[in-house]
Chains A and B, each alone.
Chain A
C-alpha cells in the first residue's frame, strides 16, 4: 500500500518537473520569436514620458465631438449586442445537446466556433468594404462576432437546465416550443441575462477600435488625433472613453449580481 502511494507520488513528481520544463521552453520560444529585449524597453522610457507630457493639459475643446462619437460607439455596442442576443437565442437552442439531436447541434456548434475564430477587425474590414463607411458595418460586425461566443454561452446555459422539469412538461403534453419557453428558458433566464451583459461589456471595448477601419464610433477620432500628433486631444478622448467604459461596466456588474 505504502509503496504504491510512493510510486504515485514519484510519478506525479516527474509530471510536475516535465510541465515546468515545457513551460520554460515555451517562454524561451516566444521570447526569441518576439525579439523581446528589456534594454529596448528601458531606452524607450524617455520617449514614453515625452508622449505623456504632450497629453497634458488635455484639449477640452474637442470634448463635445468626442462625447457625441462615444455615444455612437455605445449605440453600436448596444444594437450589436441586441442583434447578437436574438441570433444567439436561436443558434444556442439549436446547439444545446439536450434539446436537439446530434445532427443539428453538432454543425451549429461548428458554425459558432467558426464565427468566434474570425478576428473582429477582419470582419469589420469585410463589412466596411461591402456595406460602406459608418456605424452600420460596425453594428453588423459586433453582432456577427459576438454571436460566436454568446451562442456558445447560451447553449451551455440551456445544457445546464435540470432535465426533470423538462421531462415533466413533456409529460403533461407540452409541445417542444412550450417545453423550451416554460421549462428551459425560465430555468436559465438569469444565466442568459448575465452572459448578455458580460458580452455587452466586451462589445463596448471592441467597438472602440472599429472606427480605425471606418466602421463608426470613437475609433475614427483615435486614429485621426494620433496621426496628427494631437496628443492633448487624445487625452480628452481617453478620459471620456474611460469614464464611459468604467461606468457601464460597474452598472453591468451591479445588475449581474442582482440576477437570480
Chain B
C-alpha cells in the first residue's frame, strides 16, 4: 500500500514518482503499463527496496518503508525481482546463480566459504528443475541464450521464496517467440505459491493476457487502475498519449 509517496533521484531533482494512493492485495496479478520513463521501473524498485522513498507512507507486506532507510535483510528476501537485463553473475554457473537466491536465508558467515544448508541446496535445485534448466545447471550463465538467462533469473527468484514477485519488463530483451514461455512461467510459478505478481510491460495485449488488473503510469502518476478488460484503446490513449498510441497501435492493440 502506498500513500502520498514521492520519489526523486536527486534531492533537488525532478519528481519521478508521485503516487497519492495505491493498494495491492496479496496474490493479485498486476500489469504496470506506461510509456518509457513514466516511472514503472522506479515503482518496482521502490517496492523491492533498492530505492528509498523520499516522503509519504509505503507499507509492503505489513512493513513500513521509512523514508531514506534501507530495508532489513528479512524484508528484502520477501520481495523477489526479475530484471530486464537478467542481472545474473555471468561467470557463475546456472545452479550457483539460482543458489544466490537463497542468500537471504543462508547463514551470513558460513555461506561465505561456500557452505549452504541442505534445504537451501534442495530448494535451489527444485527451482532449476521448475524452469527446465536441470541439464544446463553446470554451465556458466554467459554461455546461455537470452531466454535461458531469463529462466535462470526466474529460478533465482523462485528459490528466494518471495511473497511478492516483481518483474521489470522481463521480456523486452528477448525474442518475441519466447514471450509466452517466460510470462507463462512467471504466472504459473507465482500462482503455485500464492505470491503477488507485479509485471511492468510495454505491450498492453500481453497485460490483458497475463494479468487481472492493470495500473497505468504516466509522468510518474497513476492514471489508470482497473481490471485489464477495461484496457481499451481509449484508456491506452489516456496512458500513452494520443500520438504515441497512434504510432504504436498496430502492434500494441
Instruction: Give residues in A with beta carbon < 8 Å to B.
Output: 162, 164-165, 167-175, 177-178, 181-183, 186-187, 189-190
Contact = CB atoms under 8 A, between A and B. Distances in A.
Contacts of A177: 108-109, 112
Contacts of B108: 175, 177-178
Contact of B89 (A170, A175, A186, A190): A186
Nearest to A177: B112
Given A167-B50, A171-B81, A172-B160, A187 B91 contact: yes
Given A168-B153, A182-B103, A187-B89, 9 more contacts: A164-B85, A167-B50, A171-B48, A173-B76, A173-B103, A174-B100, A177-B109, A177-B112, A187-B91
B208 interface: no
22 contacts: A164-B83, A165-B89, A165-B90, A168-B87, A168-B88, A168-B153, A168-B156, A169-B89, A171-B50, A171-B80, A173-B73, A173-B74, A173-B104, A174-B73, A175-B108, A177-B108, A177-B112, A178-B106, A181-B111, A186-B89, A186-B91, A187-B89
Contacts of A167: 50, 87
* Chain A contact surface mostly: helix
B167 to A, nearest CB: 13
Contact of A168 (B49, B83, B96, B105): B83
B48 A175 contact: no
Given A171-B49, A177-B112, A178-B111, A165 B76 contact: no
A187 B90 CA distance: 7
B92 interface: yes
Contacts of B88: 165, 168
A173 B105 contact: yes
B87 A165 contact: yes
B30 interface: no
A177 B110 CA distance: 11
A165 B108 CA distance: 18
Contacts of B79: 171
A4 B159 CA distance: 60
Given A164-B83, A183-B89, A187-B89, A172 B103 contact: yes
Interface centre among A177, A178, A181 (most CB of B within 10 A): A178
